[in-house]
């Protein structure tokens, strides 16, 4: 099976990251806020579209709840 690279491949071992899960009801809202800010900062449309698809997929996730 071929290895598919992701954005996580670029993360340094000591680099702080923040993970949003599909089950988190707040996650799509956070992503769409990021999309708005990304537009202001000139992030390419392809990257913003990818984020929107992720937010949409999260909203369809079968188990959603407030983070515990």
8 Å CB contact between 58 and 28: yes
pLDDT at 4: 74
> What is the C-alpha separation between 37 and 31, in angstroms, rounded?
10
42: left (phi over 0), alpha (psi -120 to 50) or beta: left
**pLDDT bracket for residue 1 (50, 70, 90):** low
pLDDT at 58: 97
User: What pTM was computed for the model?
Assistant: 0.84
> What is the C-alpha separation between 16 and 48, in angstroms, rounded?
22
pLDDT in tens, 11-64: 999 999 999 999 999 999 999 999 999 999 999 999 999 999 999 999 999 999
pLDDT at 68: 82
CB under 8 Å to 20, separation ≥6 — which residues?
27, 30, 31, 58
The whole-number average pLDDT for the span 5-10 is 85
């Amino acid at each position: 099976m071929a290895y598919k690279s992701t954005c996580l491949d670029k993360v340094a071992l000591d680099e702080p990251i923040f993970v949003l899960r599909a089950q988190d009801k707040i996650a799509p809202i956070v992503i769409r806020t990021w999309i708005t800010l990304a537009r202001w900062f000139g992030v390419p449309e392809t990257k913003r579209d990818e984020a929107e698809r992720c937010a949409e997929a999260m909203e369809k996730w079968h188990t959603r709840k407030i983070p515990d």
